[in-house]
Amino acid sequence: MDVLRSSSISSGGWETWTKGLLAEAIAGNQLKTAQLIYDRLDQETINSCRPTWWAAAIGSIEILEWLRSKGELDAALRTHQFEVVDWLDCWKSHFPTRAILP
């Protein structure tokens, strides 16, 4: 996946491209692809991508549980409270019998 850090992508372009690629993998329920991308991101990019992927993840319980296992639910609650409150409401409507919070 050397293309993920290609010198032909500017730093701003890299962030935009990564957000879209990760959100697409998450929305498509492509867990292994999402994991591969996520594991290669620096913390700054992860922080900036977080609202994008939470919105994309609502339809996939596997993706949501993986994001929670990476500590992303806690991080999202700390940094993007308004998006996560909306997201938690969506979670409850999609999966009323599954608890995302421990």
Per residue in 54-87, pLDDT tens? 667 766 778 878 888 888 777 776 766 555 666 6
Q: Report whether pLDDT(7) > 50.
A: no
- Give the separation between CA 37 and CA 22, rounded to whole angstroms: 7
The gap between the terminal CA atoms of the chain, to the nearest Å, is: 34
> What does the domain layout of the chain look like in residue ranges?
12-94
More confident residue, 91 or 64: 64
Model confidence pLDDT, tens digit, residues 27-58: 788 889 888 888 888 888 777 777 677 667 76
- Give the separation between CA 80 and CA 73, rounded to whole angstroms: 10
